[in-house]
């Protein structure tokens, strides 16, 4: 993995921990950071030694405090579209990962920071985390997928309340509306996110990848199409050694030894 300026990547026991790191700016996303996030996740997807990812922010105050407002203040209409597309593409690379990606939200997740967390498959928050899409306070709208993913996750009414008021909500409220999967004390956050990733990584990797594929496709497709797609993946999994191993292990009352084949 090459050296990045604003992203730190560590790998241990099949798990990659990706940390957005611009601590003096509360990890705000300038264009280079967005670019690096996309590059890192595309590389992790190709890396067979990686089976899961935890994404977090440097420091104890912020996950990511949004897109870099100093940079954004200089955009025009054409660059505005390009900036938005660049972020959407990088974040879509996360959503399209066929390995679980868990966001460990360790503080402010605002604007592009919340949108980054939304692109992850699962989210764990520390008790001090705060979530918001404050773009309308700046005269813009969320441009990295927030208007698309937030309503799909928490429902249109709650999403519109956050998008239209720009107000922040605390971690317990984020949990109540289903924006995060769990809330833990800050010192326990990385262990909780890592533990969740490892729990998933202990399952059949091809099954996990296809479950992600089925849910991603099914969410946007008609019920009929989604059901057929699910059946096809279900059938495809019956060709894997992992399926035989998983079922043999159950019948023989032993833990499975999945090989990803």
Token pair listed for 146 = 């927030």
Residue 110 engages ligand COA in binding (rule: CB under 6 A): yes
67 DSSP 8-state letter: B
Q: Does 131 bind ligand COA (CB under 6 A)?
A: no
For ligand COA, which stretch binds (CB under 6 A), given 118-126, 133-141, 193-201, 239-247? Answer: 133-141
Question: Among 4, 76, 62, which Cα is nearest to 33's?
Answer: 4
Q: Which of 67, 101, 119, 193 binds ligand COA (CB under 6 A)?
A: 67
Q: Which stretch binds ligand COA (CB under 6 A): 21-29, 175-183, 198-206, 235-243?
A: 21-29
Please, which residue, 102 or 116, has the CB nearer to ligand COA? Answer: 116
Binding of ligand COA at residue 135 (CB under 6 A)? yes
| Tokens linked to 83 | 């900036």
**Does 146 contact ligand COA by CB under 6 A?**
no
Q: Is residue 36 annotated as part of the catalytic site, yes or no? A: no
35, 36, 115, 230: the catalytic one is 115
Burial class of residue 135, CB neighbours in 10 A (0-12, 13-18, 19+): buried
| Cβ atoms of 169 and 131 closer than 8 Å | yes
Least separation in angstroms between CB 105 and ligand COA? 13
Active site residue 135: yes
CB-based contacts of 237: which residues, under 8 Å, 6+ apart? 206, 207, 210, 243
Active site residues: 115, 135
């Amino acid at each position: 993995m090459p050296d990045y300026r604003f992203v730190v990547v560590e790998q241990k026991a099949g798990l990659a921990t990706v940390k957005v790191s611009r601590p003096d700016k509360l990890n705000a996303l300038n264009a280079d950071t967005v670019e690096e996030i996309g590059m890192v996740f595309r590389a992790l997807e190709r890396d067979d030694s990686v089976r899961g990812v935890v994404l977090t922010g440097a420091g104890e105050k912020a996950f990511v405090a949004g897109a870099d407002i100093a940079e954004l203040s200089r955009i025009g209409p054409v660059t505005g579209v390009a900036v938005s597309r660049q972020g959407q593409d990088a974040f879509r690379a996360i959503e399209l990962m066929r390995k679980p990606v868990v966001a460990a939200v360790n503080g402010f997740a605002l604007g592009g920071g919340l949108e980054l967390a939304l692109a992850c498959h699962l989210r764990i928050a520390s008790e001090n985390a705060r979530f918001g899409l404050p773009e309308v306070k700046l005269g813009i709208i969320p441009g990295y997928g927030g208007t698309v993913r937030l309503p799909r996750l928490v429902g249109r009414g709650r999403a519109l309340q956050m998008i239209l008021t720009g107000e922040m909500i605390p971690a317990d409220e984020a949990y109540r509306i289903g924006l995060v999967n769990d809330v833990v004390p800050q010192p326990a956050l990385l262990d909780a996110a890592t533990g969740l990733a490892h729990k998933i990584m202990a399952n059949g990797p091809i099954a996990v990848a296809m479950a992600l594929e089925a849910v991603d496709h099914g969410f946007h497709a008609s019920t009929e199409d989604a059901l057929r797609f699910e059946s096809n993946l279900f059938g495809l999994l019956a060709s894997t050694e992992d399926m035989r191993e998983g079922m043999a292990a159950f019948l023989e009352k032993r833990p499975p030894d999945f090989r990803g084949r």
